[in-house]
Amino acid sequence: MEARFSLTFQYQVLFTNSVFDPQNPLLVRTLAQKEPSRQHCLTIFVDDGVMGTWPHLEEDIEEYIDVHKKHLRLSTGLIKVSGGEECKNDPDILHMVYRQLLELEVDRHSFVLAIGGGAVLDTIGYGAATTHRGVHLVRLPTTVLAQNDAGIGVKTGMNFFDSKNFIGAFAPPFAVINDLRFLKTLSCRDRRAGIAEAVKVALINDRNFFEWLESQVQALNAFDFNAISHMIHHCAELHLNHIACSGDPFEIGNARPLDYGHWSAHKLESLTKHELRHGEAVAIGIAIDSRYASQIGLLPKGTEVRICQLLEKVGFRLWHPVMRDTDSKGKLRLIEGIREFRKHLGGDLSITLLTDIGERVEIHDIDLREIETTIHWLEDRERGS
């Protein structure tokens, strides 16, 4: 016997400003598109970092729903979720999500709306994906990183037993709405963090985009609206294109180009107990993997310096003291990230490296001594020698 079937997934990533302005039809149109004659029930979870900086959000949403009550209704008021990595670390938050969805009788016709950074979207996304084996999720990413990367793909995840994204599910959203206005209240750190993912996707896919990022550093650092908006738009496009066209959206094979620089980034996040933001760790991960590629003769010499310079000009520090930490055998603890990545892949290592800007290759072996040299190189660079 054999069962063979395939499913087609389709969702839109939409861009707007002021999504809850009653005159803006995007949200109601998106939710009502499949069943226009129905009144759709919405349960909304909001990152507390957003709640804190947008004090009128609840009123605005209620007014929006009221104006569009023919199509929309709220199951309850906004449900606040702790923002940042702590929500991915905390099983009690997942329980709270399940309890709310149970008590509010959210069913497979209702919508869950998640508003927040990548961490909140990952948590609510996992909760929604595993309730009734999947309820409709609309994501409203509110950080640069969530709008250009974390919030637009098909993955959800939470950290368990100190292991990053140990539990999770592939669960395409119903839709994603990027409202650039939310970015206004972001801290400088979180404005910057998302730029690392843009550098990543440019490096693995698009030399012109990398050169554009180099030419726009000042505008990006000043958070110039046009530059940020173009960066998010193009990065999201490349990211989505990879998901839709790579032939492996649910990562059944081992190649993970979108995880470029991430084996060390995830380890750095855990080693620093999430003191480093995901984007900050990714910037270091990109520096490590580009220097390593140059050391082993894969990437033309000097290209890694150009990449590091772009990251530094954006304001990333390409070093963290934890990179010096060693285990009882004197080995750098960061390097353990390779073993963990291999384990996550199921035993066969596959790491994306660059052969040039915009060109990549998958490699299956890593020379650990060379990686140590790479890390020392970054330390020397930090010291200015």
Ligand X SMILES: NC(=O)c1ccc[n+]([C@@H]2O[C@H](COP(=O)([O-])OP(=O)(O)OC[C@H]3O[C@@H](n4cnc5c(N)ncnc54)[C@H](O)[C@@H]3O)[C@@H](O)[C@H]2O)c1
Q: Does 239 bind ligand X (CB under 6 A)?
A: no
Nearer to ligand X, 192 or 342 (CB): 192
The contact mask relative to ligand X for 271-310 (x = CB under 6 A, - = no) is ------xxx-------------------------------
DSSP 181-201: GGGGG--HHHHHHHHHHHHHH
Q: Does 200 bind ligand X (CB under 6 A)?
A: no
Q: Does 127 bind ligand X (CB under 6 A)?
A: no
Where does this chain touch ligand X (CB under 6 A) — which range of 105-113, 154-162, 216-224, 357-365?
154-162
Based on its alpha-carbon atoms, the radius of gyration of the chain, rounded to whole angstroms, reads 21
Say how far apart CA 308 and CA 287 lie, in whole Å.
6
Q: What is the DSSP letter of 352?
A: E
**Cα–chain center distance at 141:** 10
Task: Count Cα atoms within 13 angstroms, Cβ side, for 25.
Answer: 4
Q: Does 270 bind ligand X (CB under 6 A)?
A: no
- Among 263, 265, 275, 375, smallest CA distance to 325 is for 375
Where does this chain touch ligand X (CB under 6 A) — which range of 13-21, 34-42, 185-193, 315-323?
185-193
Q: What are phi and psi of 44, to 5 degrees?
A: -115, 125
Q: How far is the CB of 194 from ligand X (least distance, A)?
A: 6
Nearer to ligand X, 32 or 46 (CB): 46
Where does this chain touch ligand X (CB under 6 A) — which range of 58-66, 155-163, 229-237, 247-255?
155-163
Q: Does 143 bind ligand X (CB under 6 A)?
A: yes
Say how far apart CA 150 and CA 160 lie, in whole Å.
19
Q: Does 259 bind ligand X (CB under 6 A)?
A: no
The contact mask relative to ligand X for 156-175 (x = CB under 6 A, - = no) is xx------------------
Considering only residues 97 to 116 of the shown chain, the ones binding ligand X according to CB under 6 A are 116
Rounded alpha-carbon distances, angstroms, from residue 329 to 268, 374, 375? 19, 20, 18
Considering only residues 71 to 100 of the shown chain, the ones binding ligand X according to CB under 6 A are 83-85, 88
Dihedral (Cα; 32, 36, 40, 45), 10-degree rounding: 0
Q: Does 257 bind ligand X (CB under 6 A)?
A: no
Q: Does 122 bind ligand X (CB under 6 A)?
A: yes
DSSP 241-301: HHHHHSS-TT--SS--GGGTTHHHHHHHHHHTTT-S-HHHHHHHHHHHHHHHHHHTTSS-T
76 SS3 class: coil
Of positions 32, 49, 137, 234, contacts ligand X by CB under 6 A: 49
Where does this chain touch ligand X (CB under 6 A) — which range of 137-145, 222-230, 298-306, 310-318?
137-145
Q: How far is the CB of 104 from ligand X (least distance, A)?
A: 23
Q: Does 119 bind ligand X (CB under 6 A)?
A: yes
Q: Does 28 bind ligand X (CB under 6 A)?
A: no
Q: How far is the CB of 116 from ligand X (least distance, A)?
A: 5
Say how far apart CA 352 and CA 276 lie, in whole Å.
23
Structure tokens at 84: 């940042």
**Cα–chain center distance at 12:** 17
Where does this chain touch ligand X (CB under 6 A) — which range of 90-98, 119-127, 303-311, 325-333?
119-127
Interface residue list for ligand X (CB under 6 A): 47-50, 53, 83-85, 88, 116-120, 122, 142-143, 145-146, 149-150, 153, 155-157, 182, 185-186, 190, 193, 277-279
